[in-house]
Amino acid sequence: MPSRRAVIGGVFASGVVAGLFGCTAAPEPTLQADPTFARKIVTYPSPEPAGTILIDPGSHFLYLVQGNGQAIRYGVGVGAEGFSWSGVAAVHTKQEWPDWYPPAEMLARKPELREHMVQLQSGIGMPGGPDNPIGARAMYLWQGNKDTLYRIHGTNDPTTIGHNISSGCIRLTNEDVVDLYNRTPIGTKVIVLATATTTAAAAAQ
């Protein structure tokens, strides 16, 4: 019988995940993230106040504004559908080692997943932990009282950073998402740029 990690990894690698639950990546990392996308402080002039998060899916970077024309830049992986949503949101909730709940449509297409899931508080899913493709942390973005279904989360496959994998959210390495999580309070403003928008700062770096 294939292992849970192998089965889940095959599902994500095949790109069958959709929407919120498609924003994750294949488990079982074998390589490190591309050093081009390593976290670092960069020059990033912005009218936004310190603490604001700006995400540029087209260049695969997330910026945490520091003020004084600087930002902490993180490399990110995005989904094919990650480009379809842009706008302004806020961090509504945060979770450490979040659970993963596959949608009913996925379980219908991939019934073999059920044997690797358990009954959790909110339904059938996978408990948070190192094997969970959502990664070490998650931040859930809302606009007012409405969930955007857009998330910033970790991944246990750092090789997906800098790539368009599956559909949905923004992923960082587990190390980077923990760093960002610790710097990001509830209510933080998040700006997701349109796909065609590439900031001058990103282009120059």
Identify the DSSP state of 102: -
Bridge partners, residue 139, by sequence:
94, 152
> Do residues 160 and 177 make contact, with C-beta atoms less than 8 angstroms apart?
no
> What is the distance between the alpha carbons of residues 40 and 66, in angstroms, rounded to a whole number?
12
Exactly one of 23, 60, 92, 169 is catalytic; name it. Answer: 169
Helix (H, G, I), strand (E, B) or coil at 138: strand
Helix (H, G, I), strand (E, B) or coil at 107: helix
Active site residue 23: no
> What is the distance between the alpha carbons of residues 137 and 95, in angstroms, rounded to a whole number?
6
Exactly one of 23, 60, 92, 153 is catalytic; name it. Answer: 153
Active site residue 169: yes
Residue 169 amino acid letter: C
Cα 81 to Cα 9, 42, 78, 170, 194: the distances in Å are: 19, 28, 8, 10, 12
Residue pointed to by tokens 């990894």:
9
> Do residues 180 and 62 make contact, with C-beta atoms less than 8 angstroms apart?
yes
Catalytic annotation, residues: 153, 169
